[in-house]
Each structure stands twice: as structure tokens, then as C-alpha cells.
Homo-oligomer: A and B are copies of this chain.
Amino acid sequence: MASAVRILGIDPGLTRCGVGVVDVRADRSATLVHVGVVRSGADLPIAERLALIARGLREVFAAHHPDVVAVERVFAQQNRSTVMGTAQASGIALLLAAEHGLPAATHTPSEVKAAITGYGSADKLQVQTMVARVLRLDALPQPADAADALAIALCHGWRRGAPSGSAAAGALTPAQRAWADAEKRATRR
């Protein structure tokens, strides 16, 4: 088996912070390592909520030893009532990556959707379906935050390792084929 990069994807949030760990190999094939959600109660003070998120994320770092961390980028234009909490949770995720000595990257929702489905405005179901297919899962990852975290991890693995059109068309894995199709669709827009 080719050596793989272990990627921790994080979909930041206060109420539900999605975490997904995947191994991505040079041939773009990927394996599920862990998927879950770190939660904090909306009735708790904000500092306690952030501490719960940090504790849950630290457990994932400790249990799965990722090589790199990818976090969904938050924009001020998004849903106002929760965006500040989401930004704070993303800050915690990025801090923990740095404190574990790991490289961290951020990807926008559009980048993630385009990488996974080939379409930057894909809906949640399209993303979940594609994530399940790439990782050969029997069921769609639930909840959506967990699926999003896996999508972020896959996006990062594929973007960082992307060979510049070097893959032989006849030797594509299913994941590579999906990726190539997605790229073609994206190019046509």
C-alpha cells in the first residue's frame, strides 16, 4: 500500500463541530479513519463551550495523530447569528494544529464543494453522496457537519497532492475518475 497522508478535517462550530480523519494516498484513493462531532451545549457560557470544543478536538489529535489539519474557512457574510461562534471555534481548531506542530490550511466552502463534487454550489446531499462513494461507506455520513469535515479533509488531500495532469487516463481509481470528472465539469463553467 502506498504511503498515505493522514488529514484531520474540521467543520468548525460551537453547537456541532464536525471532525473527520482520512488517509489519502498519492493515487488520490482515500480511507476513512474517524468521523464524529464535538458538541457543546448552547446553555453554557461561551468560554466553557470553547473549552469543550478544544477538549474534544484534542482527543481526536491524540487518538488519530493526523499529519495535517484542514479547517473550513468562515466568512463574515455567513449566517450572522452563529458566525462569530463559528469563527471562534475555527480559531481554536487552528491554534490546536499549531500547538501540535502540524501544518494547517483553510479551504472555503466553495473550494470544498468543487473538489468533492466538481461544483462549487453543490448541495449538502451531493457532497455527502460523493464523500460516501470516495470512502466506500455503506451509508451517508451523518450528521451533515461530520460529512462536511470528511469533505474538507478529502479536499485538502486532493488539492495538496494534486499532480499536474500527470495521471494516465487509463489507470484511474474510482476516486481519481470522480476527481477528473469534477475538474472537467468545473472547467466547463
Contact = CB atoms under 8 A, between A and B. Distances in A.
Contact of A104 (B45, B80, B106): B45
Interface string A43-81: 001111011001000000000000001000011110010
A29 interface: no
A75 B98 CA distance: 26
A47 B84 contact: no
Contact of A91 (B77, B80, B91, B98): B91
A19 B14 CA distance: 25
Contact of A76 (B50, B84, B94): B84
Given A88-B90, A91-B87, A99 B46 contact: no
* Copies of the polypeptide in the assembly: 2
A87 B90 CA distance: 9
A47 B83 contact: no
Contacts of A104: 45-47
A89 interface: yes
Given A46-B94, A51-B95, A51-B98, 7 more contacts: A47-B69, A48-B98, A51-B99, A54-B95, A54-B99, A87-B91, A88-B90
24 contacts: A46-B104, A47-B69, A47-B97, A47-B98, A47-B104, A50-B91, A50-B94, A50-B95, A51-B95, A51-B99, A54-B95, A76-B83, A76-B84, A83-B87, A87-B87, A87-B88, A87-B91, A88-B88, A88-B90, A88-B91, A90-B91, A91-B92, A92-B92, A92-B95
